[in-house]
Amino acid sequence: ELKVEQNPLFLSMQERKNYTIYCNYSTTSDRLYWYRQDPGKSLESLFVLLSNGAVKQEGRLMASLDTKARLSTLHITAAVHDLSATYFCATIRRDNNDMRFGAGTRLTVKP
């Protein structure tokens, strides 16, 4: 069964600091997705990573994928308060279509 694990589950950061969220998955997949969820809202797609070595960046967020290690990272550079949210990674097995999510990392950026 496809499992997706994120760590840390909770992250309290100070503004202007850097940090990395890790996402491990259990079976072969070369598609990895990152989503953001604000409190009381639904999920919004951030990044789609489609091959080994893929790197995507938007603003202070950068995501990468290592399919051999079955690992994706979401790096936050110089955090600001409006990045506070819960971040989910998700992946799909090649032989079916159900997208499985990690438990999420709840990020709080403090002044």
Partner 1 sequence: DTGVSQDPRHKITKRGQNVTFRCDPISEHNRLYWYRQTLGQGPEFLTYFQNEAQLEKSRLLSDRFSAERPKGSFSTLEIQRTEQGDSAMYLCASRPQGVDSPLHFGNGTRLTVT
**Beta carbon of residue 23, minimum distance to partner 1 (angstroms, whole number):** 11
> Is 58 or 98 the residue whose CB approaches partner 1 more closely?
98
To which residue do tokens 């990020």 refer? 107
Which tokens is 6 given?
Answer: 């994120």
Site for partner 1, rule CB under 8 A = 4, 31, 33, 35, 41-45, 48, 50, 88, 90, 92, 96-104, 106
| Minimal distance, residue 6 CB to partner 1, in Å | 8
- For the chain, list the strands marked E by DSSP: 4-7, 10-14, 19-25, 32-37, 43-49, 55-58, 61-66, 71-76, 85-92, 99-101, 105-110
Nearer to partner 1 (CB atom), residue 48 or residue 78:
48
**Least gap, CB of 57 to partner 1 (angstroms):** 17
